[in-house]
Structure 1
Amino acid sequence: MSDASRPRRPPLVILGFLFIALFAALPFIAPPDGHERAALAQFVGRFHPVLVHLPIGLLSLVPLLELLGLLHIWIHLQKSAGLILILATLGVLGATAVGWLLAWSGGYRGETVMNHLWGGIGLSVCCLLLLALRPSYIAGEGFVLARLLYIPLLLTTLGVMSWTSHQGSIITHGEDYLTKYMPGGLRSLFGIAPAPVPAAKSTAAGGVVAPASMFVTQVAPILDKHCVACHKPSKHKADLRMDTHELLMKGGESGPPVVAGSLEKSDLYRRITLRSDDEEFMPTDGKPALSPAEVKLVGEWITAGAKP
């Protein structure tokens, strides 16, 4: 085979693997450690959700176009798969870089964050390998193993993309977002534990029904709505988690935010009752403030002893 007819490897592949080497080093050199950093880094990093969806859509098109080529249906569309794969790869590389910047500068950390980051790096590798193998696959000549590996690798890439996307959804929406309302039959089919049943009211001595926990029924939903997004396993600002009563009472860098029985000593109550333009007002980042009724409930819970 002459040099002129030899399948060419896009220069993007070589350049891309240099980026991958850098990406693979970043989790070790500058891992997401839960600390917030420069505002500019956070500004750029927050474009990750904007950038990430386009390459997912483009990458999902590639197997469809390749299938049309295999079946000799609208075979001319298969020619566009190469360009779409290049655009998808550029998008994946960009989204991965900006995603790392968001995780490193935005106060994120934890196993799920690292899973999502490594998934993005793995997806980048898969896309670059596809670009390297596709010329031989399309030409039907050259490196035989490349022609045999292209389709299995393409399917593997879709699997990596789905898993990585799921890790991102866990960070954003919580671990049970997809399964919270799943029917019982499907839960059994996929080996997922039954949905938790709301706790029944306990029975005190003498058969009198004791009232349900104020924290569980009233305070926890308020915290979930206004606070947990920034104080959860994958992102806990000021080293404070508020997703469970135990961790809330344990506190963070500034100590416990709740002092049972004392509104004056409870930093949580102080912050939610400040003026909205105060630097220490919570919640921050444009999130909706607690309503007067919600503030009152939190205050009553603290005054009553802040029990679980």
Structure 2
Amino acid sequence: MVFLLFFGSELRLPAFLQVFGRAHPLVLHFPIVLLLLAFGSELIVASSRAAVPKNTANWLLLSAAFTTVITALMGLFLSKEPGYGGDEVTTHKWLGIACSLLAFGWYGLKDQVRRNKAITTVTGIGVAAVLLVAGHIGGNITHGEDFLFSPVLAKSETPQVPFEDAIVYTHLIQPIFEKKCMSCHNSSKAKGELVMETQQLLLKGGKDGKLWDTTAAGFGLLMQRIHLPLESKEHMPPQGKPQLTDEEARILYLWIKAGSSFTQKLATLPDSDSLKMIARSFFKSKDEEQYTFAAADENTVKKLSNSYRVVAPIATGSPALDVSFFSAAQFKGEQLKELEKVKDNIVSLQLSKMPVTDEDLKAIGSFSNLRALNLSFTKVKGDGIKYLAGLQHLKQLSLSGTGITTGGLQPLAKLKTLIAIEVWNTAITDKDLTSLKSNFPKAAFDIGYKGDTVIAKLSTPIITAANDKQIFSNTSLITIKSPVKAAIIRYTTDGNPPDSLKSPGYEKPFIIGKSAVIHARAFLKGWISSDTATAGFYKSGIKVDSVFLITRPNPRYIKNAMDGKAFIDEALGGVNFGTPEWVGYQDSVLEIYLFFKQPVKVSALTLNGLVATGSDIFPPDVLQVWGGTTTQSLQLLSQTRPTQPSANQPAYLADFTGSFQPRQVSLIKLVAKPVRLPAWHPRKGKKGWVFCDEVLVN
């Protein structure tokens, strides 16, 4: 166990040891029980009581020590599998090993410990404490944050976010991910190489590709996996884990369908938007009222609802009712009079596109607690507005698309609560606003806008390769998509930005046979062209068998690099350098050995890197490639000085290549020295960073 702790980074597990490691969650219950039983028996032996024979206590303590070590070994093997990493797994591993060593030492020194009951007590409490903390962290890795102690920990009340301030992703989508997905997809336990802790990692996806794609049938992997049969191996969440409710699945679907924005507020969604309607039950409005009137009879409310009219409470337990009409063909004025039975409970009335006349407004005028009234695109001309003058609580009124005039609104001028009036697509114009505002000083008028003056910006295209692999052996099939199907996509493969005229237009997936950085933009008449999408695809030459780090990366970017896999795992990072693919050097020079099982003929080495001047990440000052048959026979094959940025610019991916005459080697030494920040940089003279996520040979 101790040997593997220090040298396990070189371990490659055969299949039978993987099975052994995966039994860790099953076997770990034995040492927990046996250690606690051993603690009790040792207290009895130390007290010189005959209840537990010394021989029995010896075997119990030995069994506890043995099963603890076996369980720790299993945990070490399990941690070698993909998906396990991060500080929490490392801490859990060390605590498990500490517990093993303590139990082993306790057994070896049992006779000395038993001579003093106080020492026995301290030893037992110490081992139990380490065991408890290790179990707590293990529970976090398996089941989510604070799984063990959550029932007894004081729960901090999350402030209730008002509906007007709620962000769709932050307050509606993210809680679903945290509750139903994060226990298996976090930085400590990344099943399928998927981490869902940040927006960047969500967009990156896992080993099977991106989580969602608004241009794909079914909207991508996330929705497909959710709707697989529960017994399916790929169903998410897996069988035995808390499942998504129908409402949660519906919320995720609607969010992805709408473009999966991370910043959009709920309040900015159209009133008819399904996601907004669902969300209203989760959030309270800033100015949500506490209604003092009594609730209407439940049976009466149910009888008033039918196929063309819905009468329902605005929230669970609220006495306030919302009434909506749906069928213009079935609407009759008498249906408003039928609402007399609940007239004091109606606070919202939706009559948009119904054939409501001015005479019908007389019945509405009796709804004394009405707050919101929608009469848009009805037959109202304005003569019946006088019937609404007694609605002392009315706040919102929509008369868009009706025959209303400035004079027709005058009967409502005395309503002090009226704060929003919609009159677009009516005879009321910009010129009438001055007089209206003088009569309605507290009200905001919406008279609409000219749609032909608004220019929208196209979404950035999405560039993908077959199987979402950016590194390929022979050829790669490239697909470029735009959420706006009518848009024309133009692309380049020579590193230059595409323009709207000269660059080739994308018509169907195309094949590349060599490394290329592809840029793509979407264009459409009457729209602002999209931002440029960039993606690099690299043809692999000679496969490196193993990597040894001569120098250590910065501690912040070390956890994915120490076994060298980050340099040769064929997983490329994006412009966010906080993702697991990136390895960063600043205070030390990047120096690594690349080993080959058989001698190979090499002629070039490429370091795939990142440049982000605002974060002090620059190309290497010097890139050296050394080669030979042993570490003592290395010769300098290439030394290059990559071009440095001359001004601050957005982050971008870059390749730094050293080429040389073909040479037969068994190993390569790569050296990349960080640059001193240039004079134009705010932190001039300080050391910059070198970030690398992959090394490619030939």
- TM-score normalized with structure 1 length: 0.68
1:177 is the counterpart of 2:147: yes
Asked if the contact 1:263–1:270 (Cα under 8 Å) also holds between the matched residues in 2, the reply is no
2:236 to 271, 283, 304: 283
- Between the aligned partners of 1:171 and 1:277, the Cα distance in structure 2 is 24
1:257 is the counterpart of 2:211: yes
RMSD, aligned α-carbons: 3.6
Amino acid at match of 1:166: H
Structure 2 counterpart SS, 1:306: coil
Asked if the contact 1:55–1:89 (Cα under 8 Å) also holds between the matched residues in 2, the reply is yes
Pairwise CA distance, 1:302: 0.8
- Between the aligned partners of 1:62 and 1:302, the Cα distance in structure 2 is 54
1:123 is the counterpart of 2:77: no
Q: How does 1:142-291 map to 2 (within 5 A)?
A: 152-182=122-152, 184=154, 195-201=156-162, 209-210=163-164, 212-224=166-178, 226-253=180-207, 256-259=210-213, 261-262=214-215, 264=217, 266-273=220-227, 281-283=234-236, 286=239
- Between the aligned partners of 1:25 and 1:52, the Cα distance in structure 2 is 22
Amino acid at match of 2:10: I
Pairwise CA distance, 1:234: 1.0
Residue in 2 that maps onto 1:104: 80
Q: In the superposition, relative to structure 1, how do residues 90 and 246 fare at CA in structure 2: closer, same or farther (>3 Å)?
A: same
Deviations 1:186-205 (A, max 9, x none): xxxxxxxx61414411xxxx
1:93 is the counterpart of 2:63: no
Structure number with bigger Rg: 2
Amino acid at match of 2:197: D
- Between the aligned partners of 2:105 and 2:97, the Cα distance in structure 1 is 13
- Between the aligned partners of 1:245 and 1:130, the Cα distance in structure 2 is 47
- The answer to which of 270-279 and 102-111 deviates more is 270-279
Structure 2 counterpart SS, 1:176: coil
Structure 1 counterpart SS, 2:173: helix
Structure 2 counterpart SS, 1:235: coil
Asked if the contact 2:20–2:74 (Cα under 8 Å) also holds between the matched residues in 1, the reply is yes
Q: In the superposition, relative to structure 1, how do residues 67 and 135 fare at CA in structure 2: closer, same or farther (>3 Å)?
A: closer
Residue in 1 that maps onto 2:110: 134
Amino acid at match of 1:121: I
Asked if the contact 2:87–2:188 (Cα under 8 Å) also holds between the matched residues in 1, the reply is yes
Q: In the superposition, relative to structure 1, how do residues 87 and 42 fare at CA in structure 2: closer, same or farther (>3 Å)?
A: same
Structure 2 counterpart SS, 1:232: coil
Greater helix percent: which structure? 1
Pairwise CA distance, 1:300: 0.6
**Number of aligned pairs?**
260
Greater strand percent: which structure? 2
Residue in 2 that maps onto 1:6: none
Fraction of identical pairs, as percent: 27
1:67 is the counterpart of 2:43: yes
- TM-score normalized with structure 2 length: 0.33
- The answer to which of 290-299 and 123-132 deviates more is 290-299
Deviations 1:218-269 (A, max 9, x none): 433443454323311211134321234443134345654234x545464433
- Between the aligned partners of 2:127 and 2:253, the Cα distance in structure 1 is 51
Residue in 2 that maps onto 1:21: 2
- The answer to which of 79-88 and 287-296 deviates more is 287-296
Higher RCO, 1 vs 2 (CA within 8 Å, ≥6 residues apart): 1
Pairwise CA distance, 1:132: 1.4
Amino acid at match of 2:44: L
Asked if the contact 1:68–1:75 (Cα under 8 Å) also holds between the matched residues in 2, the reply is yes
Pairwise CA distance, 1:70: 3.3
Pairwise CA distance, 1:301: 0.5
Pairwise CA distance, 1:51: 0.9
Q: How does 1:31-42 map to 2 (within 5 A)?
A: 40-42=16-18
Asked if the contact 2:72–2:96 (Cα under 8 Å) also holds between the matched residues in 1, the reply is yes
Structure 2 counterpart SS, 1:231: coil
Deviations 1:41-60 (A, max 9, x none): 44332321221112111111
- Between the aligned partners of 2:153 and 2:193, the Cα distance in structure 1 is 36
Structure 1 counterpart SS, 2:236: coil
Structure 1 counterpart SS, 2:79: helix
Q: In the superposition, relative to structure 1, how do residues 293 and 172 fare at CA in structure 2: closer, same or farther (>3 Å)?
A: same
- Between the aligned partners of 1:306 and 1:29, the Cα distance in structure 2 is 41
Structure 1 unaligned segments of length 5 or more: list them: 1-19, 32-36, 141-145, 185-193, 202-208
Q: In the superposition, relative to structure 1, how do residues 284 and 298 fare at CA in structure 2: closer, same or farther (>3 Å)?
A: closer
Q: How does 1:38-53 map to 2 (within 5 A)?
A: 40-53=16-29
Residue in 1 that maps onto 2:358: none
- The answer to which of 82-91 and 63-72 deviates more is 63-72
- The answer to which of 292-301 and 118-127 deviates more is 292-301
Amino acid at match of 1:170: N
Q: In the superposition, relative to structure 1, how do residues 150 and 24 fare at CA in structure 2: closer, same or farther (>3 Å)?
A: farther
Asked if the contact 1:68–1:78 (Cα under 8 Å) also holds between the matched residues in 2, the reply is no
Q: In the superposition, relative to structure 1, how do residues 164 and 274 fare at CA in structure 2: closer, same or farther (>3 Å)?
A: closer
